[in-house]
Amino acid sequence: MTLSTTFILASQSPRRRDLLDHVGVDFAVHVSPANEEIPPDAPPEDAVREIARQKARPVAREFPTALTLAADTVVVHDGDLLTKPRDPDHARAMLRRLRGTTHAVTTGLALQHPDSGRRVTAAETTDVSFGTISDDDIAAYVETGSPMDKAGGYGIQDPTAPLFIDGIHGDYYNVVGLPLRRLYLLLRNHFGDFLV
């Protein structure tokens, strides 16, 4: 996928960078300084769209001729939003909560191009089912440190994920952190003049 304008990823996520590399997009990274404040009582899809918008805004302001992408991912379980774990104990508690159940992974996207006045947001949701995981397996996984920077305390792309994920319904890449199909459709439908 090639764009005729500068494309900026307003995220420090290595997984989002890897996914954009995977589809051949040239981009620059400028981490957003925005505080991620979840709107109180907002439905998950509205919450992640708003957080993505908050992240995109300051970077787009700094680079008005570029197209800026920001994203935010949360795990939703029994109506509660699970973000990144605060510490290893929190990560273990999240994983114990998710085992043997199905939860939703929701990613919000925001694309902004100030010079043309175009700003769009979208959200993608994928259902993920966990099998039963022992406390020992959870402890070993948390000990790797991998869960600490991931919503819900796990990464579907991690080598150990196949040991506890029974299945998914929806976009796999969304669970990794960037729904590539939804991103492509947003670009095609709202910024098609930038696609080469």
pLDDT tens-digit series, residues 145-160: 999 989 899 999 999 8
Beta bridge partners of residue 21, listed in sequence order? none
Residue 87, phi then psi, degrees to nearest 5:
-165, 175
**Is 72 designated active site?**
yes
CB atoms within 10 A of CB 25: 19
What are the C-alpha distances in Å from 163 to residues 50, 93, 167? 34, 18, 11
Region 17-27: mean pLDDT is 95
Which residues lie across from 76 on neighbouring strands? Answer: 81, 104
- pLDDT tens-digit map of 39-49: 778 899 999 99
pLDDT of residue 38: 77
Amino acid 83: pLDDT: 84
What would the pLDDT profile of 89-112 be if each residue is shown by its tens digit? 999 999 999 999 999 999 999 999
How many whole angstroms separate alpha carbon 118 and alpha carbon 103?
33
5-17 b/e (C-beta count within 10 Å ≥ 16 → b):
bebbbbbebebbb
* Catalytically annotated residue among 18, 21, 26, 72: 72
Matching residue, tokens 């492509």: 184
Tell me what percent of the residues of the chain surpass a pLDDT of 70.
100
CB atoms within 10 A of CB 55: 25
The counts of H helices and E strands in the chain are 6, 7
User: Could you say which of 3.50.4.10, 3.30.413.10, 3.30.1280.10, 3.90.950.10 is the CATH number of the domain covering 7-194?
Assistant: 3.90.950.10
